[in-house]
Amino acid sequence: MKTLTAVIGLLTVILGGCWNNIELTETRFVTAVGIDLNEEGRYVLTVNVMKPSSGKTDAGGAAEKSAIIQSTGYTMLDAARNMIEYSGYKLSYHQMQYVAIGTDAAKKDIIGPLDLFFRDQELSGRHWVIYVEGKAESLLHSKGNTNDIQPLQINEKMISNRSIGKYPPVRSLDLMRMMASKEKVGYLPISHPIQSKKESREAGAVIIKGGKAIASINETQVRGLLWTTGKIKSTIVIVPLKKQGQYASIEIVDSKTKIRPVLENNQLYIQVTVHPHGYIGSLNHAIPIDTETYKWLQTKINHVIRDEIHEAVAVAQKNKADIFGFHEYVHRAYPQVWKTWEEQWPARFSELDVKVNVQSKLLLNGLLAEQLGEK
């Protein structure tokens, strides 16, 4: 009898589905979220909602795939619940590709409005978080030029950064880890809406300190940040040649970084060593292909990367924001010293000596290696 009861109970669970399943006819899926503040200081929540396919098309012959809906609230949860009034459905955020936060909201507080998504246990933390120059809603209204579904194009842009290195893609889980530090220091990629074309350009980053957006860094400084944190896997380094106006494009295919804190006579410095590997991608002027030229190009690559890192360090130190996570290395290497330095770290970081050593390796293809006698 007990066995029969157990079997019936198991079948009830299996055939009845999940206890918290969502019927497709009772919900709509959100693919993107924008967070802004209005003049009254209330949160403005903008969402991109996917429409069920009906087979109908617009005047241009293309089916409308999504709708933009907006609501306000004193808190993010209040705004999210108010959204039901405008959508007529319960909204599911499980398919969300990104959360965008506008300038006003980010300068006031980044952690607060994102707390709702941090706490949702059903979200994986895989969605991207983006800082928008201006209003976040403008990014949701922009159109995809390579994908009809704009949130999917933004997702593609974030992933493609691996071959660009001009902005640092940050997932929700990454931001949560950054904000776990005492100083709540981190960074987010910047999206620049292009109003005339209703498109967007993702480049540069914003520095977060104390959970607020405080300063921006340009594309060169972003790449310095990515070199330092070991997040460059592929990019193009432009190297000036000996004659003015002549350049070589070096394609970096791999890069590794080692960070080592060194304490000597109670003086701390950080040793950053970068090992990029790459090929000559193109030359806009013919130069002799010999061993001496290859060594000279490697030296020039070293200088370019070193300068980019120094630029990133300078702007971070100016804002007393350790966006590189140097404090974690110091903590692990010198735990006892860190106990006395932790409270003073922002000030110590601003005066920290960061030594940069770049050891690039310019790889040869088979034909060139044979010509130069390297095989």
| Average pLDDT, consecutive stretches of 10 residues, N- to C-terminus, the chain (375 residues) | 45 42 64 94 92 56 71 91 80 88 95 82 79 93 74 86 85 91 92 73 92 95 96 90 84 95 93 95 74 87 97 97 96 94 94 97 61 47
- The pLDDT value given to residue 174: 92
* CA 222 to centroid of chain Cα atoms: 11
Cα torsion angle, 80, 84, 89, 90, sign: positive
- The pLDDT value given to residue 26: 60
Q: Are 159 and 86 in contact (CB under 8 A)?
A: no
Segment (H or E) for 43 = strand 43-50
- The pLDDT value given to residue 156: 87
Rg of the chain's alpha carbons, rounded to an integer?
25
**What pTM does this model have?**
0.84
Q: Cα separation of 39 and 48, whole Å?
A: 23
CA-CA-CA-CA dihedral for 41, 155, 322, 166, to nearest 10: -120
What residues have CB less than 8 Å from 180, skipping those under 6 apart? none
Q: Cα separation of 244 and 262, whole Å?
A: 40
- The pLDDT value given to residue 25: 54
- The pLDDT value given to residue 44: 96
Please state whether beta strands 128-132 and 186-194 pair in parallel, antiparallel, or not at all (unpaired): parallel
Q: Cα separation of 181 and 249, whole Å?
A: 38
Q: Cα separation of 222 and 216, whole Å?
A: 10
Q: Cα separation of 2 and 9, whole Å?
A: 11
What structural domains does the chain harbor?
19-217 (no CATH), 219-375 (3.30.300.210)
